[in-house]
Structure 1
């Protein structure tokens, strides 16, 4: 009986020791744990050109970190995000329902190559083990430059074809997900935005009548309204490269503004001849008549503000005189203006069938017009 009683006493003492030991293990001694991370790396370009990480063209990251632990208080200093062993600047950190969202900008020109890891510190000051995110070995490049309408351009067409440079859509020599690109066209005058999606990586243009356009407010396909004369419009190009289950690259090019001319006018390339054929060999000039009508006086055109497919009116003499003259080209009783446009070598592509003229009057009115052409080899 004594032996049995002694065994019971020893067992009770042992259980008490274990309970006491467990009770002395404080919550603040338990490391937080990371059990999943997704990273979104982005570059936001404004207008034209190619940017790096800067105030004007931010290049940064968003981390979504799934955690367990006490995160009743959290600030940006509690997220230790490293690339190739170097800590990156975390600007914001928020905890919500077992997940931390952290954002920041890279401390280098481009996202660094190498091992990406993250560790977090909980409200008790305990730091998790570093969690490996990805070993980055490549970087899909910027969103492409818009070719037409170009940034800050004035165009004539009210239903233009949108053209851009080819997407650099490869990662580690492999094409990325082809459902990666979209084009947004915003109409500030009616407070509406339309999206064309998906844009394939091999595409470099989309027509105004393409069936992929849909209205953002409904998500349903919709025919784009005509652009209105004198109004400003805004295009954004997005690329979204999912290169791994937890790694995504987003590139945006926004603030691409263009406007429609205030007035569309009649022009006549090589007046008196049809078809309007010429050699694009950089020799001589191309005569272009801008015609007056009831509400447009072509004699008020400012030759210094006129271009045909980007080519200017020819200037001669020491006084920089523009080659321009007035005459009634179409014998309607109104004076027209005839401008001699510089024939710049290779200004037109072989097979081009139209040319567009853009200009301003002396009073600042934007105008434009188009006419047929043919390029003679």
Structure 2
């Protein structure tokens, strides 16, 4: 698709974004943009990374929240602001609100994880827990804004917030002007609206590619006329938006070249690769750009691609699960179900083969009762660690050759 021409009458302009950059300068981190040689070799593209996960609250969301707060008059600041969020927008607004002396109220759904509530409270915000879903919290926040004369700060569908997010592109293209393609995660569309507006104005022929999780293709459907559900459990909570913004949809329809959808497995792999290769923690939404590169390598081969690591706020238990699941997919971690005869030495014979192939046994469990095998039969589930899939396969072939029926226990 040919790049849309820059439009002089967009709701947010390059001048707005440059003004936001001057306004927030010194209060947010000018995060580094660095080339990744390993990811470039892995994907076939020349990959540059913008480390927005290094902001104080570990997310680019600070930029838009701060720009919005700084544009408020004294009376508005004194009354305070309110938002509905269980994630990065809440923390960014709370942190800069406290720094500027502006009272901040955040409405979160009741099931919000305690750690997110505590983190936001730690930045000085008043937390209101209401409803079971984000939509419930959103409606309640609007009601409280009216009842208490508070200013509602939308996480993405606000021109001043969008202008703040656009400062990411000014820094990134200033530090790496050779970038010819930007791959940007899209949830509500605020980041891509700001980044895309700035990038298109600076470099009219730059390619702007949005990426959404397959489970939440809301903007993809809005702009492409598709009818797909937006629901399910995704690791990319930050872009799990059922209804994209009105303003953001208007902007993206005029500047974005394409929106790609990525499956959960690719997002998980991208999170794992960032930790293994770049030694940096990136949440699911922040890894979506790399997931698109992994899912569509031919689409970006030979291009100079910019990826924005939008945030690093991921639950540690979830991160551990993601890393272990990625080891399973790569063949480094496996659970083998091996049928044995119930007699002395059977398990020892199996263990000798693991030793022969230098495959590490992590855990062993026997099952004699809950099985359809004959009464004198049993199976052992052996969780093990190999160097790679080929290493594991050599062990499996040797087990079969020695007369042991074996199959991997699928994890997904």
Q: In proportion to residue count, which structure has more helix? A: 2
TM-score interval, normalised by the smaller of the two chains:
under 0.3
Instruction: Report which of the two structures shows the higher radius of gyration computed on alpha carbons.
Output: 1
TM-score where L is the length of structure 1: 0.28
